[in-house]
Amino acid sequence: MEQIFSPDGFEEVGSGPLYLQLQRRIGEAITSGRLRPGDSLPPERDMAAMTGLSRVTVRKAVEGLVASGQLVQKRGSGTFVAARVERLEQALSLLTSFTEDMARRGKSVESVWLARGLHAPAPEDVMALGLGAGDRVARLERVRRSDGVPLAIERASLSAQVLPEPEAVEASLYAVLEARGMRPVRAVQRISAANLGARDAELLHVPPGAAGLRIERVGYLPDGRVVEFTRSLYRGDAYDFAVELKLAPEAERN
């Protein structure tokens, strides 16, 4: 820490603003491994005293590194080097659950439950699931983690007739649906870009406004009935979605 936050070298001509010089130092220490994921940085006042810079300059440098995802700030705990996130590629041609997808990669899966129960349906649930006025909806909201890293927030709605006991879902929703003969066999998915709000960003351990992917999935049973309406937010720094494209038949190209 003494080398990283040494006061030497901050006044060199042509090196740019002082906060950028400090950002580069910390960033290089992270890249070189001198600062490792999970390492804590000294408090702001200590960094200012060690470097001889103002607390305003130190704060601006740290804020930039937080915004870029290299550092994370935990309320009441301090500032830490962010965990390195392995970038994952998911094929859009396969209808799989998060649990199944991670299992194929040999990764562990964990759910951090935010809500799980039966509720009166919201207007979007009524439209997507084709519910009646007196119907109830099973709502599941959780953070999906893989190897301890939060990757997605999943908010699923299903008719209470399909899932009368939402508490029965502990890991894979699709496993529970399959046991009830209600697993979707096809789905329509819509993907759009999103900037994560403060609450969702905190749940995913990224800075507010970070890039994310919003995915809306409507799943169907073999007879065409809608069984699932799921809205998910994925970390933009962790996921690539891939789809295979084929040349259309010649008749369709003419």
Average pLDDT value for residue range 81-103: 70
3-state helix, strand, coil split of the chain in percent (to 5) is 30, 30, 40
Q: Could you tell me which of 251, 189, 249, 196 has the C-alpha nearest to residue 219?
A: 189
* Confidence band for 42, pLDDT divided at 50, 70 and 90: very high
d(Cα 115, Cα 31) in Å, to the nearest integer? 38
pLDDT the model gives residue 210: 83
Round the average pLDDT of the chain to a whole number and report it.
86
Q: Could you tell me which of 187, 137, 179 has the C-alpha nearest to residue 157?
A: 137
d(Cα 23, Cα 21) in Å, to the nearest integer? 5
Average pLDDT value for residue range 117-129: 94
The whole-angstrom distance between residue 160's C-alpha and the CA centroid of its chain comes to 27
d(Cα 75, Cα 143) in Å, to the nearest integer? 19
The whole-angstrom distance between residue 128's C-alpha and the CA centroid of its chain comes to 24
pLDDT the model gives residue 147: 78
d(Cα 32, Cα 17) in Å, to the nearest integer? 23
Half-sphere exposure of 181 (CA within 13 A, CB side): 2
